[in-house]
Structure 1
Amino acid sequence: MHGKSISLRDARSPASAGEAEHDVVRALAERLPRPARFLVVGALGLLTDIGTFTLIQNFGLPALVARLFSLAIATFVTWRLNRALTFDRSGRQQHQEAMRYAAVTATAQSTSYAIFAVLTLTLLPAHPQAAIVVGAACGALISYNGHRLFAFAPVTGNTSHSGSVRS
């Protein structure tokens, strides 16, 4: 055979199949500029947020409580997608990157949630999903720059064994 050979272990390994699939998806995603990838991931996160919110609210939870749950689920979805498709590997361990992502996301989502709460309690009580969209747009501005410059920023300079950057 010519070219790359594949062992039986590689061909049958779910991890190998998953990695190959990820590589194809990543290659397709990289045809788009990073801000466009971020917007696509954000749109998927927003759909997750609105869908989860609507589902939970249909069980009778108040809008402000339902949004806390939907934000948590949407945040997990966007972290995984941004890590896989939008930003390059930072060189940090996954748990360290997750904590940095959580810090940025907490800031962005706090802004988003505050705008949502104000609009839901004042101007848009009959249309909380519209308030989600407005809040998400404001939070996205904070989120993109925070993730680009902090959460997924490459490790630079000397690092300790824990992967954190030394001063």
Structure 2
Amino acid sequence: MRPLLREFLLFGMVGVAGFVADTAVLYLFRDSVGNYWARTISFPCAVFVTWILNRNLTFRSKSSNKAPWHEFVHYFAMMIAGGAVNYLTYAALVTWSPTVRQFPVFGVAAGSVAGMFVNYLQLRLGMYKYAKNAISR
């Protein structure tokens, strides 16, 4: 049970780093393109940051022998479901809450928490299978 808890805690810490990257890029672009479009820019940046950190910290022992760009494409594809939950949560809060519209960091936080559970489950199950297939060849 301890390795699983350690892995989940590392995943959460990487998520915080992704949240910081997401929020920083969102605030960088929101004045020029608005809250919704800025998030479509910031989310892929956060995915890239979390991929680098998860690959080198959280799931280091489960990385495959595939080229890094191939792993990133696989990782990004896996983030789509969590990203959809994340963005829908964010967009709903920005739309219906004047406070979140003014301070979208709250929407990013809520979306990140909602998407984190989906992403963790996908990574936990998907990367294990991915690594196991690479080892068994």
Pair 1:147 & 2:123 matched: yes
Structure 1 outlier segments of 4+, above 6 Å: none
Aligned residues: 128
Of 13, 21, 24, which aligns to 1:51? 24
Distance 1:95 1:126 in 2: 37
- Supply the distance in 1 between the matched residues of 2:65 and 2:123 (Cα, whole angstroms): 14
1:2-49 Cα deviation digits (max 9, x unpaired): xxxxxxxxxxxxxxxxxxxxxxxxxxxx9x811111111100000010
Select the residue among 21, 29, 41 that pairs with 2:14: 41
Higher helix share: 2
CA shift digits 1:92-141 (9 cap, x unpaired): 40343223211211111111001101110112322211011001100000
Measure, in 2, the Cα distance between the counterparts of 1:82 and 1:152.
Answer: 13
What is the CA distance between 1:72 and its match in structure 2?
A: 1.1
Which of these residues, 113, 130, 151, is aligned with residue 106 of structure 2?
A: 130
Structure 2 CA distance, aligned partners of 1:55 and 1:91?
34
2:12 and 2:19 map into 1 onto residues whose CA distance is 10
Structure 1 gaps of 5+ residues are 1-29, 160-167
Q: Which of the two has higher C-alpha Rg? A: 1
TM-score by length of 1: 0.70
Q: Which one has more relative contact order, counting CA pairs under 8 Å at least 6 apart?
A: 2
Structure 2 unaligned blocks of 5 or more: none
**Counterpart of 1:62 in structure 2: which amino acid?**
G
Residues 102 and 56 (structure 1 numbering): CA distance in 2 closer, same or farther, change over 3 Å? same
DSSP-derived class of the 1:91 partner: coil
Contact residue 100 and residue 150 of structure 1 kept, 8 A = no
CA distance in 2, matches of 1:97, 1:44: 20
Q: Percent of counterpart pairs with the same letter?
A: 27
Coordinate RMSD, CA, aligned: 2.0
User: What's the TM-score once normalised by structure 2's chain length?
Assistant: 0.84
